[in-house]
């Protein structure tokens, strides 16, 4: 066991009568990546907030390289060398400032950069960006960047502090495979330099690539520590959930009539056309690397983009939505991939976040039927297992996983012809993923369902059929029975040739 950069003993934290952390004993070794897993409510977010100075502990002892560590604020934690990159990208960047100002923000706010001119700020910012391989114009406003580049800006900003402990909360949830590989290389360099890294994730591919050890939390306690040459991921999941991972054994029904038929669809002028039938009662997972075309297909289905060629027919009638309002009227619903920027309505309560797109359904003679809104929300809270005090709670008071359930519940609360779920499991734990997946399958009859996923285990858990996309076309189709995962993964990686271009 290496020297502990951080040593935690008997740490407790309660909010009123709710004991969230109940005697945490944990070492975070220098030069190692500790993956932290825990279901919603396990206490992992509170543990992170104690370490980064957001919440004070009620009792217990934390030591950083042998010295007492009790930060009174995030800035105190940062000065001591404990730096956190949060899952919510907007917690780590200021969208209205340019990249250079974001990268140098802490130095400027501390007064150290008072006499620096813009040229000097940009020069230092470029050096920081180059250090992690961030290829972006530092004069661009962060609001103009895509989600992945915003994530990398937040990480680059964290690197400026030369951290002793770096906490990364679901850092690859918005990154492409290439960008994730760049992040992993950076983590490898930091590990070699002796930095302790706490990596919060449930993605098996991330954990198997980067972790030296896995720590599981359950009910406010450490429920398991797994290390050694072969990390026991399944054992860690069992410790996290309190039960073994059940073998996936989906009952794949006979698909009904085609709800949506794509004929010779070309997403781009230079991409290979493909055809695809999406059928009643069927759940189809579409997987592929970032840039494979799956999000572009979702845009076309939802009226946010026009295809370069081909036709679509919805329940036998021509379908060519000019915008998303037309798609919604046709019964085509979509949950967007970027929950924080494009889905959650901050400042609104849970009820309004679920019912807002369908106010006509909850209104009569110009008056809102509050009871109808409450009944719909309560049904979604119960069916999806949304953890909240009351449906009038502000959406911002919920954990990321519960916010994601609200976003899925928004579009599952009403009947649809086609439900397009773009990365519905992003940032949620394994139990929440299974809750959402079970509800999607239970309600599949009467519509076609498409789920865009980046992780293969997510596809296998939910789908009747798995479609692999690459180069903005279909690379392969697989019924989810005795599936050859090696073949699927080869197609995802681009090693497989295009096949079965008419799917369904």
User: Domain with 62 in it: what CATH number?
Assistant: 3.40.50.300
- Distances 292 to 204, 286, 333, 419, 493 between C-alpha atoms, Å: 21, 10, 22, 20, 10
Q: In what order do the strands lie in the sheet with 258-266?
A: 317-318, 309-314, 258-266, 274-279, 502-503
187 domain residue, yes or no = yes
Tell me if residue 186 falls in helix, strand or coil. Answer: helix
Q: Considering only CA atoms, which of 496, 493, 463 is closest in space to residue 478? A: 463
Share of the chain above pLDDT 70, in %: 89
How many domains does the chain divide into?
Answer: 1
In this prediction, residue 112 carries a pLDDT of 52
Rounded Cα gap, residues 345 and 353, in angstroms:
6
Looking at every residue in the chain, the average pLDDT score rounds to 84
| pLDDT band per the 50, 70, 90 thresholds, residue 342 | low
In this prediction, residue 131 carries a pLDDT of 73
Share of the chain above pLDDT 90, in %: 38
Instruction: Find the mean pLDDT for residues 317-324.
Output: 95
183 domain residue, yes or no = yes
In this prediction, residue 45 carries a pLDDT of 86
Q: Considering only CA atoms, which of 443, 395, 440 is closest in space to residue 421? A: 440
In this prediction, residue 65 carries a pLDDT of 94
**Position with higher pLDDT, 502 vs 376:** 376
pLDDT at 115 over 60: no
| pLDDT band per the 50, 70, 90 thresholds, residue 13 | very high
pLDDT at 498 over 60: no
122 domain residue, yes or no = yes
Rounded Cα gap, residues 298 and 300, in angstroms:
5
144-173 pLDDT per residue, tens = 887 777 877 887 887 777 789 999 988 876
In this prediction, residue 408 carries a pLDDT of 86
For 21-41, b/e burial (b = at least 16 CB within 10 A) is: beebebbbbbbbbbbbbbbbb
In this prediction, residue 248 carries a pLDDT of 55
pLDDT at 301 over 80: yes
| pLDDT band per the 50, 70, 90 thresholds, residue 503 | very low
pLDDT at 222 over 90: yes
In this prediction, residue 269 carries a pLDDT of 93
β-partners of residue 274 are 265
471-492 pLDDT per residue, tens = 899 999 999 888 877 778 777 7
| pLDDT band per the 50, 70, 90 thresholds, residue 283 | very high
Look at 252-256, 282-286, 443-447 and tell me which has the smallest mean pLDDT.
Answer: 252-256
Q: Considering only CA atoms, which of 131, 138, 148, 151 is closest in space to residue 97? A: 138
**Residue bearing tokens 């860690």:** 236
Instruction: Find the mean pLDDT for residues 355-379.
Output: 82
In this prediction, residue 109 carries a pLDDT of 59
Domain region containing 69? 4-241
159 domain residue, yes or no = yes
212 domain residue, yes or no = yes
479 domain residue, yes or no = no
40-97 pLDDT per residue, tens = 678 888 999 999 999 999 999 999 999 999 999 988 998 899 988 876 666 667 888 8
Q: Which pTM does this prediction carry?
A: 0.62
pLDDT at 220 over 80: yes
433-463 pLDDT per residue, tens = 888 888 899 999 999 999 998 777 788 889 9
**Position with higher pLDDT, 276 vs 115:** 276
134 domain residue, yes or no = yes
332 domain residue, yes or no = no
């Amino acid at each position: 066991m290496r020297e502990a950069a951080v040593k935690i003993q008997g740490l407790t934290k309660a909010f009123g009568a709710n004991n969230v952390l109940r005697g945490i004993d944990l070492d975070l070794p220098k030069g190692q990546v500790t993956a932290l897993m825990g279901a919603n409510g396990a206490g992992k977010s509170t543990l992170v907030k104690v370490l980064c100075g957001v919440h004070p502990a009620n009792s217990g002892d934390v030591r950083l390289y042998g010295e007492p560590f009790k930060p009174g604020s995030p800035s105190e934690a940062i000065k001591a060398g404990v730096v956190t990159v949060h899952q919510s990208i907007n917690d780590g960047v200021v969208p209205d400032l340019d990249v250079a100002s974001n990268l140098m923000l802490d130095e400027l706010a501390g007064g150290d950069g008072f006499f620096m001119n813009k040229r000097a700020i940009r020069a230092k910012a470029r050096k920081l960006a180059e250090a992690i391989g961030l290829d972006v114009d530092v004069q661009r406003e962060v609001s103009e960047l895509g989600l992945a580049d915003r994530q990398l800006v937040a990480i680059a900003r964290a690197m400026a502090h030369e951290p002793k402990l770096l906490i990364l909360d679901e850092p690859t949830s918005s990154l492409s495979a290439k960008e994730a590989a760049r992040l992993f290389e950076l983590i490898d360099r930091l590990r070699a330099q002796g930095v302790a890294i706490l990596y919060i994730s449930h993605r098996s591919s991330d954990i198997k690539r980067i972790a030296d050890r896995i720590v599981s939390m359950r009910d406010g306690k450490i429920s398991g520590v797994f290390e050694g040459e072969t990390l026991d991921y399944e054992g860690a999941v069992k410790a996290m959930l309190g039960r073994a991972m059940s073998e996936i054994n989906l009952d794949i029904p006979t698909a009904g009539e085609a709800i949506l038929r794509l004929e010779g669809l070309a997403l781009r002028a230079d991409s290979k056309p493909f055809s695809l039938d999406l059928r009643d009662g069927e759940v189809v997972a579409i997987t592929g690397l970032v840039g494979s075309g799956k999000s572009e297909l979702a845009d076309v289905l939802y009226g946010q983009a026009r295809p370069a060629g081909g036709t679509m027919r919805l329940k036998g009638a021509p379908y060519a939505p000019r915008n998303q309002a037309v798609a919604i009227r046709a019964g085509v619903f979509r949950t967007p991939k970027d929950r924080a920027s494009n889905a959650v309505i901050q400042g609104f309560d849970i009820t309004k976040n679920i019912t807002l797109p369908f106010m006509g359904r909850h209104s009569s003679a110009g008056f809102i039927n509050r009871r109808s809104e409450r009944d719909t929300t309560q049904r979604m809270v119960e069916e999806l297992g949304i953890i909240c005090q009351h449906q009038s709670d502000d959406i911002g008071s919920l954990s990321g996983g519960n916010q994601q359930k609200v976003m899925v519940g928004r579009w599952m609360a009403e009947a649809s012809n086609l439900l397009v779920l773009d990365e519905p499991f992003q940032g949620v734990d394994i139990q929440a993923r299974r809750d959402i997946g079970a509800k999607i399958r239970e309600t599949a009859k009467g519509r076609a369902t498409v789920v865009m996923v980046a992780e293969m285990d997510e596809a296998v858990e939910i789908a009747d059929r798995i479609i692999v996309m690459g180069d903005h076309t279909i690379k392969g189709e697989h019924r989810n029975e005795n599936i050859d995962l090696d073949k699927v993964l080869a197609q995802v990686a681009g090693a497989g040739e295009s096949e079965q271009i008419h799917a369904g």
